[in-house]
Structure 1
Amino acid sequence: MNTAAPCAQAQPRAFLRHLFDVAVARALPAHCLPPHVPAPPRGRTLVLGAGKAAGAMVHALEAAWPATAPLGGLVVTRYGHTPPRPPGVPARVEIAQAAHPVPDAAGEQAARRLLALTEGLTADDLVICLISGGGSALLTLPADGLTLADKQRINRELLASGAGIHEMNALRKHLSRIKGGRLAAACGPAQILTLAISDVPGDDLSVIASGPTVADQSTCGDALTIARRHGIALPPAVAAALQSGALETPKPGDALFKRHRVELIATPQQSLQAAAEAARAAGIAAHVLSDEIEGESRDVGRLHAALARAVARGTGAFNPPCVLLSGGETTVTLAAPPAGGPPGRGGRAGEFCLGLAQALQGEPGVWGLAADTDGIDGVEDNAGALVAPDTLTRAADAGLGLADHIARHDAYGFFHALDDLVITGPTHTNVNDFRAILVV
């Protein structure tokens, strides 16, 4: 993105939104995928994949693929997350749509069809797997003994439990017939190239979309422990299968991975660095704290507030004006609404902003933005929210009780009333949480 940044001091909100847009642009498939497109093989090329960026990844691949070389396949993305097809690029790979974050019948049907396409592959064939965040829910094929209804319930309980993404996907892999390296096993003798956009802390390839083409180091025992730790009930037959190891996934060192190559085409760190460079080009010092921050969203917000307050008061590790950047994947542990009140709406980014606003207490000269780089915070229509020095004052004037909204996990209601939601629509990529705290 070459657009000049707005002045941070005069337009702090616009400046923060600019940094978010730069971070997203760095991870768009049209930008980052073409350099990784391989030469066509002697045999056929089959494209498979899943994730929120799958539609855009297909378009980028189709545009870069030789017109005379065969190409076909199927990917599945979230409803409404397929961008318009680039002019002059013919459709060669089917794009199916399904539900996220809780899987639906369309996702299960797409997974069955996708797996069936691997039949008859030979050593002369190439499978290009396009993988991005969200694929765990979109590529749903329950293990023996599980129904789709079981998977839906387990997903809902995991999402509400506060479990981290590594734990969630370790369990998901062992309850699937396609995740945890099983798709690679189905491709048999074919060469496999996985092009992945990372949305997980640490860029663990086996965790991105639950690693359908990547060897899995977690075990059936790990999956059982995770389910018990978070109170996830499993059907007795499935629990017994995990106990016996019958649902074990392919492991590192298995021969099936010898013809498999994985390339990360976009990562959270790359996007944070792009935002940092944009800030520095505008004359604002930028500090990338980490791209691997996890934890309860509101608590992470309070931690960022403490760092920003120290900077603003001249006692921190950095000098103002500056922007503090971070990424990762926080969690929200849902509890029943207090006193039987209505449940709130919102996602991780909004929850982070509630904690940030509460801890900043209107600190002068500090603004914050947190948003999910896929454009959707949880299941709402916003990517995230903004916090300003006058957030609490405006909330009080509007009769909004911050403590009540925090108790009900109602970030959407709070920031919507203040007109401080960040709304982008689907971005067609996903490198997870983006947070920027500006101190001037």
Structure 2
Amino acid sequence: MQHTQFNQGLLSFLQSSPTPFHATNSMRTELIGAGFVELFEEDNWVIEEGGQYFVTRNESSIIAFTTPQLTFNQTGWRMIGAHTDSPCLKLKPNAQVDRFGYHQLGVEVYGGVLLHTWLDRDLSIAGRVTVKTKKGEIVSRLIDFQDPIAVVPNLAIHLNRQANEGFSVNPQEEILPILCGIENAFDLHEVLAAQLTKQHADVSIDAILDFELSLYDTQPAALVGLHKEYICAARLDNLLSCYVGLQALLHSDFQRPSLLICTDHEEIGSLSACGANGPFLDDVLRRLTPNPEQFVQSIQRSMMVSADNAHALHPNYANKHDKHHAPAINKGAVIKVNANQRYATNSETASIYRDMAAEENYDVQCFVVRSDMACGSTIGPITSGEIGVPTIDIGLPTFGMHSIRELAGSQDAFGLYKVLTRFTQRETLMTR
């Protein structure tokens, strides 16, 4: 795959994935197109040597894997991990709010949102809706309005003279999107039913039962900068890593057992049935290696690359970084290190990654948070703690993490893809 083709695919993936449900469905579609077989957790599994499989949970998390051999206790796994969710605004169950002449939506903040970045943006709605059909069945379907149908207008500076001195946004009162004027009839369930009928002609709706819907920015992902050296988009954290991991798996040589896991709910701690702090990965791996001793052997012959975005040195806020660990955009992926295990990297997993990057002539950077600042975390320590797999935390340098629109390098993702492809093909990790 060429660099330009890779980035165009990335932009398309970002555009088609406004929610974790859509991101998982986008990956599902690409895996099926590549010949992967879909498994269902409620069925009996028949896993064959030389197979390619995937399974989803909650429609928002996915595990895909290859089985060139079935002796996983001898080969181990080459695992890549990422997450499908991003900070956003989610509709409350009783979302319809009518006040002061406007139809608005009540929203709940999901994750660590940079709230002010959601002001004055062209917003749409996407997610999952569960309905009862006229046949009496309960089914769920994904919807995406696509068009800009909502906006959260800023308050004029004339009414807030201190705005440029810094201000907070109250998530209960000041972030409710406006849909239309009160003179227009509006019923949320009727609007959802109409959108479902438009997008899913096979579903005859008797009633809307419930929904999980999010707002998102309709501005498309784009290559920006004087020389197109940046990718500017929503949800780079962490759909960027999902796409890189997926392409690495699809373009491996299928000689080593490899696995991609992209889970939901990382932004809120990962503790859910489909999150990294839940049983999803362990359930799948134990079905593939049910013998307890062989399971432990397979894990200790494995390694996970936990891929999540990293904080690039922002030229306007350089004092927020340790100057000796200040990654630059388009200078390579970042090894993330934390003495308190907020990242799972150790000297051995870092060395393996450095060796693979050197083989690809790909630069390596390192990030350590300032010693007087709190450190974020990833699925890396959670996964390593849950199943005991040696893990490294890496990420692509990013500006504006958790903004409605983030910025990363147009060179970095393709370079990481090449290293991770090599990782899926690596025969030996460490010599003991």
With the length of structure 1 as denominator, give the TM-score of the two structures.
0.27
Greater strand content = 2
With the length of structure 2 as denominator, give the TM-score of the two structures.
0.28
